Amino acid sequence: MSEIVAVRIDSRLIHGQTANLWHGYWNCDRYIIVDDETANDPTLKGVMRIACPSGIKLSVLTEEKAVEYLTDPGHYGNERIVVIVKFLTGLVKLAQAGVQLSKKIVVGTMVIGADRKTVINKNVKVSDEDVRCFHELADLGYEFVHQVVPTMDAEEFMPMLAEVEK
């Protein structure tokens, strides 16, 4: 049975850091990008395929397809999977559908999105929807750490979010 070994929120999805630095840290077989826009755009999907590290399988899925495939215990065999999302809504849908995500979710760079106006730090801006999703997932038992690269110390994210909510 497949296992989701890591979950990362990163508005750039696959890029130099996820392809080169995180890849060795995760020790995975497959990246699954869960993002409706990317899944429905052949050009963006092509860019993700080019950026994906050699030897790593890639699935670029809509939120709906990700729920379908990740709730099917045999769909990905015994693969070790990393789920990467641009927006937290996909993670909420996966969690609500019963997908067993890793309990610790890594918040990477979140800057893309016109409605992301609340600045957490230079790498993270959140929208009201993001804040709602962070709290909903935290209520389900998920923990968040902010970590841009694996050599950087992981910082607990919810206290950072609480600071800007004051």
* Percent of the chain surpassing pLDDT 90: 85
CA distance 45 to 105: 23
The pair of three-digit structure tokens given for residue 151, joined into one six-digit string: 């050599």
Tell me what the pLDDT averaged over the chain comes to: 94
Tell the residue number behind the tokens 């016109």, with chain if given.
114
* Percent of the chain surpassing pLDDT 70: 100
Would you say residue 18 has pLDDT above 80? no
**Entry pTM:** 0.95
> Among 16-25, 56-65, 91-100, which is the least confidently predicted range?
16-25
Class of domain 3-165: alpha beta
| Strand 80-85, strand 30-34: pairing | parallel
Q: Would you state the pLDDT for residue 58? A: 97
